[in-house]
Structure 1
Amino acid sequence: MTPQLLPLIAAPRHGSRSRATCHYRCNNACDAPVPNETAHPEMRDLVEGTLARRSLLKGGAIGAGALVVGGLGSAAPAAAANGAAGRGRQTSDVGRAAFTPVAPNRTDALTNAPEFTHNVVIRWGDPVEADAPRFDAHAQTPEAQARQFGYNNDYVGVLPLTGRSALLVTNHEYTDENLMFLADTYDDATVKKIAMAAHGMAVVTIERGRAKGSWIRSNHRRARHNRRITVHTEFAFRGPAAGHELLRTAAEPTGTRVLGTFGNCAGGTTPWGTVLSGEENFNGYFDASGAVDPANATSFKRYGLATAAATNRGWSSVDERFDLSKHPHEAYRFGWVVEVDPYEPGSTPVKQTMLGRFKHEGANVTLSESGHAVAYMGDDERGDYLYKFVSADRFRRGDSPAARAHNKTLLTRGTLYVAKFVGDGTGDGEFDGAGTWIALTSDTRSHVPGMSVAEVLVNTRLAADTVGPTKMDRPEDVEPNPVNGKIYAALTNNSDRGVKYPTDETNPLASSMVRASLDAPLTSKSGNRNGYVLELTELGNDHTATKFTWDLFLVCGDPAAPETYFAGYDKSKVSPISCPDNVAFDKVGNLWISTDGNVLGSNDGLFRVPVAGPDRGRVEQFLTVPFGAETCGPLVTEDQLSVFVAVQHPGETDGATFEAPSSTWPHTDGFPRPSVVVSYRR
């Protein structure tokens, strides 16, 4: 019989997130004590009352001509507002094309701006490897799932191949057994083994469709690059921590190899053509059947690892290495950034220890003017930090095998930093200031007294705690803009902001406006529930610099609410936006934001926002995802014709089951299937 791992409860918990999402994805992290117990200042002594002053500044109050759309008492831009200079309505270039913003809605469909359409590229269960069988939801096996497209796709990367083909690389973050399995069909062990095979990553060959900007899945039997990476795939450790005693286990005593990856959230494509993937909520996969060695207690607590009771996964019942009582070092082997070469399907994926170990949302690499590889990363936890890595060696240009081999070593040597922010101290009502990147370790020298290089990298949170960085509100995707060189970080939300967490210039919101449904009124709630987007400028626009300035580019929420801010843009002409999660950029430098957990009553969506010129801060909603889903990805292709998104956990609402789903998107079956979608102009 399929185990019912979650009571069927109807009330949502955090915004539009269901109890099911909190349970399966992050093991109810918001209910647990905050792992960061340090007393580091959160800027509360620097600036007080900036929110109240902000409402008196330009853009702080909604304009008199605000429109009301779809029953939502908020500003929404009219189609006529899209006639900005330099934008042609007929162009297929998604960075410059005008479109009619999508109104807030709760429909069980992917809804594009009317000038655009979309097609599904690949769904959960579709064949990936050459010998993969056709998907049958009523007769699943671990062996079949390990060769089919996994569950809950998150990051999306598209890398050029030849001619009209490309390689689609995705993460498979987590599983929801309530929605995956028909009751009374599988025993407990089989359910767990199938779920394990549905985690990880996939490399899929795709090709251009007939419509301009469309993409379809290539025949998997002839696609030699296609590959599934699961919990059982062998990885190699690289960098200074490889071989350290904390990475050694009885099954793998060298500490240089590890099986699998899971909890993979966002990622990034490197300039040398590999894909990085962040292992995020790995802690929820381990449990303890008995006492745990007290030598690990401090680290386990800081990383939120359970040591007293079973987690929601219970994988230790089918794979002993997930039992911390028996194999405590196994937990140290997860929480890394993994690097996969999609062009070499037989290559061994790598876990890059030089990038540190924490709840990686992802890692995004750019090249400095001096040729150093610089990776930006966020630790997606309430009260945790932003990080940066700068390589010791320089990028080699060219397509020769020697150049590519060299570039694939760039993330193994360099310096890892953590960010400390300060306000400008002027009390001017602006959310801005300066900051410093504090060195934690290089590959040869630790900057943390009492910790070796390897210890800093394995227990990066503990190391960072010692140098006084700034606690942030769930720093998720952190990406450099390839056009203006600035760094944009999505700080999704913190419902405890203003309650357990103080307000300050970097973390400003003491209250925010939320809505139970499209028909419900806005109500004030404590905490930063709508999130914001941080904009960083490195000193001299040099990504290797150790100083930066910052401002809050967006303070998200309903434009009718006084605390919201859209980079000074007219609030009567923007779409409401809540809970920014992942970010991306198009060729002209526009910021694209996907959301997760919208608290304004609408489905989550994807938004385009110019970051410069007269339209700076003009948020326009490009699409919404189906009921119960989260918008992941996103990615705008180099030719600017296609926008990819991963639709994660459609229909993941409380009480929904395989037999009684709340969504059937993409409406090819009687149950929901997480899928990758591409949008393009009609």
Structure 2
Amino acid sequence: MNPTRTLLPMLGHTRGGRSAATCHFKCGDACVKPDCNNSSNAYFRDIADSALSRRQMLGLGAIGASALVVGPQLFGAPPASAAEVAVAGKHGSHGGKLGFQAIDPVSRSVDTMTVPEGYDWHSIIRWGDPLFKRSPEFDAQNQTARKQAEQFGYNCDYLDIIVDKYSGRTGVLVANHEYTNEDMMFDADWFEANKDEARRIAMNAHGFSVVEVSRKKNDKKWTYVQGGERNRRITMQTEFTVDGPAAGSDLLKTAADRTGTKILGTLNNCAGGTTPWGTVLSGEENIDQYFRGRGTAEEARYGIAAKATERGWEDTDPRFGLHHEGFENEANRFGWVVEIDPQNPKSIPVKHTNLGRFKHEGANVRIAKNGKAVAYSGDDSRFEYIYKFVSSGTYRKNDRRHNMTLLSDGDLYVAKFAGNSPAAEIDGSGALPSDGAFDGTGTWLPLVRGGKSMVDGMSVEEVLVYTRLAADKIGATKMDRPEDVEPSPVSGKLYVALTNNSDRGKAGKEGATEQNPRVANRDGHVLELTEAGNDATATKFTWNILLVAGDPKVNSSTYFSGYPAQKVSPISCPDNLAFDSAGNLWISTDGAPGTIGYSDALHKVTLTGKDRGRVEQFLAVPTGAETCGPVIHDKDGSVFVAVQHPGEGGSFAQPASLFPDFVAAPGKVKKGQFYGPRPSVVQVFTERQGNNGNGHGHGHGNGHGKH
């Protein structure tokens, strides 16, 4: 028996190798639910106004007063200043380049890492690995909530390896834990008999893990340190403080916190970013699946339904039931960007209200020419928006305490795009317009500026708590699932991963636009933005589409900035982005098995010169898995990825993957192992004499990659 339900709503709706279980546990079956933003912005203005009036009557909060064409937008911008490219380790602080021969696409049935010739891999840490000196060893048959709170969490997504500058051989690994799959975590009969404990285990498997790592001299392989001084678990029981203009708002107060300034836990953390001052940001994304709603318009705009949830947490902890008296606002306390200090395990993490509340994929910060901190974020749902925040204060070198206040006060914007081609030339097929490129201009529209709301009829607090409604009202541009938004540390340009949108062009839905040029866009695309004067605080920008994803052998609508399509690696569903020290873009994918039929992967994309648009596949993850959180340390010859939900679609009793323990049979399980898949952090590194890995790189497939 399935521990959570007997029928997955996405069964029969996925294609290729995409698991219906992934859709169910990761995003709450979003693709079979109505789009949250399914109307014109003008129509949603009416909904917002009526919703706010209704809230005022209910006393839930007061309304306040008040690329064939190569031009300047591609290559002509001046080099970014030193301050503006002051971004952290994963974004290119390490010198050097990674040389490799692109691997062939890998069958979605291959249950191991596939890496290029000359590279090996090993898992650094896995779900359930003990973090503290007295933490219990992982035992899937005898798991408890207390044990899970002391072990590495489930489904790691955002990842960074922050190396200590003074040694180069120690550091901290920071990973968030997006969601849990109870089917694979628990024996079905045990789950049915112990639902409350199983739910508490799942709650403690969310959040963050911070764990010290080290490596020996002249050894590339990093290992985690059990009992490290900086080791920490952040779970649904960890206290967060709230800052920014919405802190203390009536919209954030509950029976458990009548101040509106303290929140227990963080949920569904997806991507993130490491700040120039060394803290880690993470976006709370698909929060709707955890809360039973009351049927309000605000809840509907965030996908929260007035019915029992599949996870059933509201039956174990009343705060997940918005219908419970005193907890009507609990969902408003999630959907934020959170900030943690990985160097101080006793620090109190923060939820930043000034960055707005929506389904944040993540947040990435760069320092503008005038010293302002600028954070970019995408709202990862179909037909949602791209945002940026500009701080009021300025960055101070070597003043970490001050810099950790920068995201607490500033201005919030949302993007509006315009194409420069006749509308008739954007026919939804993905065919290039007559000027040879998908490109145009854009504006950052202010939502909050100078401490005041820029949205008629909404106070600052309402704009920040109901940011989607505010962006609807001012006419932001609907995009195809905007996920990671990353500034290049070399050029200062922005890159936006738009994962897909199979609903574009359907009856009653918005059709193709130049910035989203395909209807039924199942493969996604990547945008390149250049802000005016290469100034991160500018309100104007130009944009072009870097690539329109897919398999060129079967899809004629692909585009790679003019690079010959027959010479690229097929790529689908771009998700997380990163850069190497040379400024090349690295793209991890989420959903390729269900679109182009291959395993999800990590690709390098050249951004300049004659090879601009060239896509080269570097690795592939095991069957059923997603590639998350790429970290590129090319000086050291290493790439790190979070391998999320390997074997999804299987069960505890019948696993679909054995990664990474590869236990041959249930009776062969040794201490700390599991007969089944374990989400893991993996390091891929160049081989060298005397350092040939741990044996995981066995066998050589077809000669174009190494398993």
Q: Given the two structures, how large is their TM-score scaled by the length of structure 2?
A: 0.83
Is 1:279 aligned to residue 320 of structure 2? no
| Residues 96 and 581 in structure 2, CA contact (< 8 A), matched pair in contact too | no
| Residues 212 and 680 in structure 1, CA contact (< 8 A), matched pair in contact too | no
* 1:12, distance to aligned residue in structure 2 (A): 6.1
Q: How many angstroms apart in 2 are the aligned matches of 1:20 and 1:133?
A: 29
Determine which of 517, 520, 528 is the counterpart of 1:508.
517
* Residue 128 of structure 1: aligned partner: 131
* 1:114, distance to aligned residue in structure 2 (A): 1.4
* 1:680, distance to aligned residue in structure 2 (A): 1.0
Determine which of 200, 204, 224 is the counterpart of 1:193.
200
| Residues 314 and 321 in structure 2, CA contact (< 8 A), matched pair in contact too | yes
* Residue 81 of structure 2: aligned partner: none
* Residue 160 of structure 2: aligned partner: 157
1:207-229 C-alpha deviation (Å, 9 max, x unpaired): 125774321112x12x1100000
Q: Which amino acid aligns with 2:561?
A: A
Report 1:614-653 matches (<5 A).
Answer: 614-637=610-633, 639-653=635-649
Deviates more, 1:476-485 or 1:664-673: 664-673
Q: How many angstroms apart in 2 are the aligned matches of 1:544 and 1:10?
A: 45
| Residues 95 and 590 in structure 1, CA contact (< 8 A), matched pair in contact too | no
* 1:361, distance to aligned residue in structure 2 (A): 0.3
Report 1:31-430 matches (<5 A).
Answer: 31-40=32-41, 95-106=97-108, 107-161=110-164, 162-163=166-167, 164-186=169-191, 187-209=194-216, 212-218=219-225, 220-221=226-227, 223-288=228-293, 292=294, 297-307=296-306, 309-326=307-324, 327-398=327-398, 403-425=399-421, 427-428=433-434, 429-430=436-437
1:246-290 C-alpha deviation (Å, 9 max, x unpaired): 0001111000000000100000000001000100001110014xx
* Residue 484 of structure 2: aligned partner: 477
| Residues 131 and 152 in structure 2, CA contact (< 8 A), matched pair in contact too | yes
Is 1:671 aligned to residue 676 of structure 2? yes
* 1:442, distance to aligned residue in structure 2 (A): 2.8
| Residues 97 and 634 in structure 2, CA contact (< 8 A), matched pair in contact too | no
In structure 2, relative to structure 1, the CA distance for the partners of 1:110 and 1:562 (3 Å cut) is same
* 1:104, distance to aligned residue in structure 2 (A): 2.8
* Residue 568 of structure 2: aligned partner: 574
Give the secondary structure class of the aligned counterpart of 1:111: coil
* 1:21, distance to aligned residue in structure 2 (A): 0.7
| Residues 203 and 236 in structure 2, CA contact (< 8 A), matched pair in contact too | yes
Give the secondary structure class of the aligned counterpart of 1:138: helix
Structural RMSD (CA): 2.0
Question: More helix by proportion, 1 or 2?
Answer: 2
| Residues 213 and 679 in structure 1, CA contact (< 8 A), matched pair in contact too | no
* Residue 57 of structure 2: aligned partner: none
In structure 2, relative to structure 1, the CA distance for the partners of 1:453 and 1:101 (3 Å cut) is same
Q: Which amino acid aligns with 1:312?
A: E
* Residue 498 of structure 1: aligned partner: 505
In structure 2, relative to structure 1, the CA distance for the partners of 1:184 and 1:196 (3 Å cut) is same
* 1:638, distance to aligned residue in structure 2 (A): 6.9
Determine which of 544, 548, 569 is the counterpart of 2:537.
544
1:515-545 C-alpha deviation (Å, 9 max, x unpaired): xxxxxxxxxxxx1000000100001111110
Q: How many angstroms apart in 2 are the aligned matches of 1:6 and 1:353?
A: 38
Q: Which runs of 5+ in 2 are unaligned?
A: 43-66, 71-93, 423-432, 663-673, 688-707
Q: How many angstroms apart in 1 are the aligned matches of 2:420 and 2:219?
A: 48
| Residues 100 and 115 in structure 1, CA contact (< 8 A), matched pair in contact too | no
Deviates more, 1:483-492 or 1:4-13: 4-13
Q: How many angstroms apart in 2 are the aligned matches of 1:40 and 1:250?
A: 34
Task: Report the count of equivalent residues.
Answer: 606
Q: How many angstroms apart in 2 are the aligned matches of 1:545 and 1:23?
A: 40
* 1:7, distance to aligned residue in structure 2 (A): 2.8
* Residue 489 of structure 1: aligned partner: 496
| Residues 587 and 640 in structure 1, CA contact (< 8 A), matched pair in contact too | no
Q: How many angstroms apart in 2 are the aligned matches of 1:477 and 1:134?
A: 35
* 1:417, distance to aligned residue in structure 2 (A): 0.3
Is 1:680 aligned to residue 690 of structure 2? no
Q: How many angstroms apart in 1 are the aligned matches of 2:380 and 2:450?
A: 24
Is 1:562 aligned to residue 556 of structure 2? yes
Q: Which amino acid aligns with 1:647?
A: V
Q: How many angstroms apart in 1 are the aligned matches of 2:588 and 2:481?
A: 15
In structure 2, relative to structure 1, the CA distance for the partners of 1:2 and 1:140 (3 Å cut) is farther
| Residues 356 and 412 in structure 2, CA contact (< 8 A), matched pair in contact too | yes
* 1:131, distance to aligned residue in structure 2 (A): 2.8
In structure 2, relative to structure 1, the CA distance for the partners of 1:676 and 1:210 (3 Å cut) is farther
1:121-147 C-alpha deviation (Å, 9 max, x unpaired): 000000113331110011000000011
| Residues 447 and 453 in structure 2, CA contact (< 8 A), matched pair in contact too | yes
* 1:191, distance to aligned residue in structure 2 (A): 1.1
1:373-410 C-alpha deviation (Å, 9 max, x unpaired): 01010000101000001111110002xxxx11110000
Q: Which amino acid aligns with 1:543?
A: A
Q: Which amino acid aligns with 1:493?
A: N
1:92-116 C-alpha deviation (Å, 9 max, x unpaired): 9773413242433231111001121
* Residue 77 of structure 1: aligned partner: none
Percentage of pairs with the same residue: 54
Q: Which amino acid aligns with 1:178?
A: D
| Residues 547 and 558 in structure 2, CA contact (< 8 A), matched pair in contact too | yes
Q: Which amino acid aligns with 1:650?
A: P
Q: How many angstroms apart in 2 are the aligned matches of 1:272 and 1:606?
A: 27
Give the secondary structure class of the aligned counterpart of 1:359: coil
Q: Which amino acid aligns with 2:157?
A: D
| Residues 603 and 615 in structure 2, CA contact (< 8 A), matched pair in contact too | yes
Q: Which amino acid aligns with 2:482?
A: P
Q: Which runs of 5+ in 1 are unaligned?
A: 42-53, 60-91, 511-526
Give the secondary structure class of the aligned counterpart of 1:465: helix
1:465-501 C-alpha deviation (Å, 9 max, x unpaired): 1110100000000010100111000000011123233
In structure 2, relative to structure 1, the CA distance for the partners of 1:27 and 1:355 (3 Å cut) is same
| Residues 12 and 18 in structure 1, CA contact (< 8 A), matched pair in contact too | no
Give the secondary structure class of the aligned counterpart of 1:23: helix
* Residue 52 of structure 2: aligned partner: none
1:424-466 C-alpha deviation (Å, 9 max, x unpaired): 1355252100000000003611111111111111110011111
| Residues 548 and 558 in structure 2, CA contact (< 8 A), matched pair in contact too | yes
In structure 2, relative to structure 1, the CA distance for the partners of 1:148 and 1:198 (3 Å cut) is same
| Residues 41 and 474 in structure 2, CA contact (< 8 A), matched pair in contact too | no
In structure 2, relative to structure 1, the CA distance for the partners of 1:381 and 1:103 (3 Å cut) is closer
Is 1:30 aligned to residue 35 of structure 2? no
* 1:118, distance to aligned residue in structure 2 (A): 1.0
Q: How many angstroms apart in 2 are the aligned matches of 1:391 and 1:409?
A: 9
* Residue 7 of structure 2: aligned partner: 7
Q: Which amino acid aligns with 1:124?
A: W
| Residues 492 and 580 in structure 1, CA contact (< 8 A), matched pair in contact too | yes
Q: Given the two structures, how large is their TM-score scaled by the length of structure 1?
A: 0.86
